[in-house]
């Protein structure tokens, strides 16, 4: 097999895996280099419908509440655990898939649309690479939590927030 067709085969195979996870067309394109029309065809073959269009989810939607921030932090911690420092330089589809599988083991997709889907995971990985989303160490509990610029919640630890909340409730 010629090198170019081998590469093409590998790209298509990777695109197929990503499409099965319902990753949106533009991230599949950026991870595989496959032309977008070809990706949309793969998507329709796999899911019997067109891939979703419209704007991608943004960092601000992930940090709209403390619960969401904790959820994003959970995924980010798994992703960083598997990818190490590389995650700030490159976005590896392989590590992303492994991290999302681990995340789904903790927070299964119950069909309720809750939790982070694979496209959300890609957006978080992209923002960790660019620095738009980053880890900060919590001086109180020692865990690293995620935060982004221009979000509604204060830049502090979600876990300590929930701990304080519970203490307040118990103190009543
Ligand atoms: Zn904390």
The confidence score (pLDDT) of residue 53 equals 86
**Distance between Cα 165 and ligand 1 center (Å):** 13
Q: What torsion, rounded to 10 degrees, do the Cα atoms 154, 135, 53, 42 define?
A: -160
Task: Measure the CA–CA gap between 85 and 56, rounded to whole angstroms.
Answer: 25
The confidence score (pLDDT) of residue 171 equals 82
Residue 150 has pLDDT above 90, yes or no: no
**Distance between Cα 139 and ligand 1 center (Å):** 7
**Distance between Cα 137 and ligand 1 center (Å):** 8
Question: Would you place residue 65 in the very low, low, confident or very high pLDDT band (cuts 50, 70, 90)?
Answer: very high
pTM: 0.92
Task: Measure the CA–CA gap between 146 and 23, rounded to whole angstroms.
Answer: 23
Q: Are 92 and 100 in contact (CB under 8 A)?
A: no
Q: Are 144 and 135 in contact (CB under 8 A)?
A: yes
User: Of 129, 137, 135, 151, whose CA–CA distance to 61 is shortest?
Assistant: 151
Q: Which residues pair with 134 in a beta bridge?
A: 147
**Distance between Cα 78 and ligand 1 center (Å):** 17
Half-sphere exposure of 82 (CA within 13 A, CB side): 19
Candidate from 64-68, 111-115, 130-134, 162-166 with smallest mean pLDDT: 111-115
**Distance between Cα 73 and ligand 1 center (Å):** 12
**Distance between Cα 72 and ligand 1 center (Å):** 15
Mean pLDDT of the chain: 93
**Distance between Cα 79 and ligand 1 center (Å):** 19
């Amino acid at each position: 097999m010629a090198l170019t067709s081998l590469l093409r085969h590998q790209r298509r195979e990777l695109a197929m895996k990503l499409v099965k996870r319902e990753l949106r067309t533009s991230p599949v394109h950026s991870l595989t280099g496959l032309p977008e029309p070809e990706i949309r065809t793969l998507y329709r073959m796999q899911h019997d419908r067109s891939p979703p269009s419209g704007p991608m989810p943004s960092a601000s939607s992930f940090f709209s509440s403390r619960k969401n921030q904790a959820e994003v932090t959970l995924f980010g911690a798994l992703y960083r655990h598997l990818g190490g420092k590389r995650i700030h330089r490159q976005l590896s589809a392989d590590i992303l898939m492994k991290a999302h599988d681990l995340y789904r083991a903790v927070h299964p997709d119950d069909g309720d649309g809750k939790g982070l889907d694979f496209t959300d995971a890609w957006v978080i990985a992209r923002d960790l690479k660019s620095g738009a989303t980053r880890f900060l160490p919590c001086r109180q509990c020692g865990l690293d939590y995620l935060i982004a610029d221009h979000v509604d919640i204060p830049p502090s630890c979600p876990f300590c927030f929930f701990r304080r909340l519970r203490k307040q409730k118990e103190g009543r």
